């Protein structure tokens, strides 16, 4: 793989810095049970997963979701996710790789599509808050959006030139958001999407965060 040059990393949270795959699957299967759909394996969920998430669930459940249905899906998912969140651990290489990056004098921030009000205390609970010059989660109370517009605002708030920014995430939406704003991207095959789907984006794909950081010049 070709090395990338960057002065700033925008990290994703769920499935990237946080290994929450088991919790995600349990939450997804609560949704499936509610709508009378058989439970999914992790590999099956990876095959379905995409953003925006509402069409993803429509494929899983084989039905068009009304606005009321979507509110139910979101509530069911997050109720189970929140209940089990304490069982999730940081991904291999975290926080060591983040400390090493800071030691080079370069900067990093965190942009998640998880709710901001829950993201901040969770990141702080893992002792990572001081490693980021900015942390942004999803505003509001209903999730499932694409990341692109949020990345635009995240970079503008830090006066960052996208050309010097590298996004590290675990799903295709991370790559699409990065490319849309003119940033670079490395995807790690640690979260919600299978490696084939990640590689189809054309950006570098690694198996771990340490491998991703080693690609940065």
Over residues 166-197, the pLDDT tens digits come to 999 999 999 999 999 999 999 999 999 999 99
End-to-end CA distance of the chain: 12
Residues 16-61 pLDDT 10s: 999 999 999 999 999 999 999 999 999 999 999 987 889 999 999 9
Peptide bond connecting 52 to the previous residue in cis, omega within 30 degrees of 0: yes
Region 80-95: mean pLDDT is: 97
**pLDDT over threshold 70, residue 145:** no
- Please count the residues of the chain: 217
Half-sphere exposure of 139 (CA within 13 A, CB side): 4
Q: Pick from 162, 187, 158, 161: which is nearest to 174 by CA?
A: 187
Region 151-167: mean pLDDT is: 97
**Domain boundary assignment for the chain:** 8-19+88-214, 21-87
* Mean pLDDT over each residue of the chain, to the nearest integer: 95
Torsion-angle region of 36 (φ positive above 0: left; ψ -120 to 50: alpha; else: beta): left
Q: What is the fold, at CATH topology level, of the domain defined by 8-19+88-214?
A: Rossmann fold (3.40.50)
For the chain, how many helices (H) and strands (E)? 10, 8
pLDDT of residue 216: 96
Supply the pTM of this predicted model: 0.93
Half-sphere exposure of 5 (CA within 13 A, CB side): 3
CA pair distance 21, 27, nearest whole angstrom: 10
**pLDDT over threshold 80, residue 118:** yes
Alpha-carbon 174 to chain mean position = 7
Q: What is the CA radius of gyration of the chain?
A: 17
């Amino acid at each position: 793989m070709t090395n990338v040059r960057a002065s700033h990393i925008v990290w994703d949270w769920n499935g990237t810095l946080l290994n929450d795959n088991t919790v995600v699957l349990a939450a997804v299967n609560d949704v499936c049970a509610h709508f009378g759909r058989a439970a999914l394996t992790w590999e099956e969920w990876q095959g379905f997963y995409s953003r925006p998430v509402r069409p993803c669930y429509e494929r899983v459940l084989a039905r068009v979701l009304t606005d009321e249905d979507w509110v139910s899906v979101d509530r069911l998912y997050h109720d189970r996710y929140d209940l089990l969140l304490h069982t999730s651990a940081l991904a291999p290489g975290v926080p060591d790789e983040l400390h090493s990056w800071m030691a080079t004098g370069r900067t990093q921030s965190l942009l998640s599509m998880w709710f901001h009000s829950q993201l901040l205390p969770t990141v702080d609970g893992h002792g990572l808050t001081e490693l980021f010059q900015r942390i942004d989660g999803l505003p509001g109370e209903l999730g499932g959006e694409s990341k692109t517009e949020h990345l635009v605002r995240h970079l503008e708030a830090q006066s960052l030139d996208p050309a010097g920014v590298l996004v590290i995430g675990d799903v295709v939406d991370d790559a699409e958001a990065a490319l849309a704003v003119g940033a670079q991207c490395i995807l790690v095959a640690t979260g919600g999407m299978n490696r084939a789907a990640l590689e189809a984006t054309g950006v570098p794909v690694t198996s771990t965060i340490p491998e991703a950081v080693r690609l940065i010049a």
